[in-house]
Amino acid sequence: MEGPGAPAEESAPGRCAYQGAPGAFSHEACLDLRPWDEPVAYDSFEAAIGALKAGEAGCALIPVENTTIGRVEPAATLVEQAGLTVVSEVWRPIRLALMAPAGARLGDIRTAESHPAALGQCLATLGALGIEPVEAYDTAGAARAVAEARDPTRAAVAPSRAAEVYELSILRNDIQDSADNRTRFVLLSA
């Protein structure tokens, strides 16, 4: 498979579709792997893949597997059924942070919101802290919702970049249950 080197002429300049809000792991992967492309956020894996099929994006970067939870669903199944070309893949380390509005304290947190795949990667840690996991459509989207709510009992599980984007305080870094927590992303082309 082709690596994430210089862009091919037909894809530059372009747009790289990903699922999530700015600050999500897929957003970070787009910025790192396709710096010449504009990362474009979509609310669902279906919408990101659909944007590629419709020509709204030159590629799509989709997470399909994680070392802690296995297949990332429904993304892995959608990639298999999409009829698109996988032009490259990369394993990226995933470091999860627990973040909340400024002034919130770890002992006050009752719930932590995030994408089901991210929650699955830190269930033991959240359980040990007495925090109830709450599913959201995206890691960074959960951070945005927590920031907007300004409730000191609500937190988000997301990449640390999301805390910067949404002006949240990180209560604890590296809350993933496995020190070797990695996700495989595939870069799709039409």
- Round to whole Å and give the CA distance between 17 and 100: 28
Query: Three-state DSSP class for 104?
Result: coil
Q: Which of 68, 125, 139, 183 is an active site residue?
A: 183
Side-chain-side CA neighbours of 98 within 13 Å: the count stands at 30
Residue 139 bears catalytic tag:
no
- Round to whole Å and give the CA distance between 54 and 17: 11
Q: Can you list the positions of beta strands (E) in the chain?
A: 14-19, 37-42, 59-66, 70-71, 85-93, 97-100, 111-114, 132-135, 154-158, 169-172, 182-189
Cβ–Cβ < 8 Å for 19, 48: yes
Query: What does the longest C-alpha to C-alpha distance in the chain come to?
Result: 53
- Write out the two tokens for 175: 């809350």
Residue 153 bears catalytic tag:
no
Side-chain-side CA neighbours of 160 within 13 Å: the count stands at 10
- Round to whole Å and give the CA distance between 38 and 22: 12
Q: Which residues are catalytic?
A: 183, 185
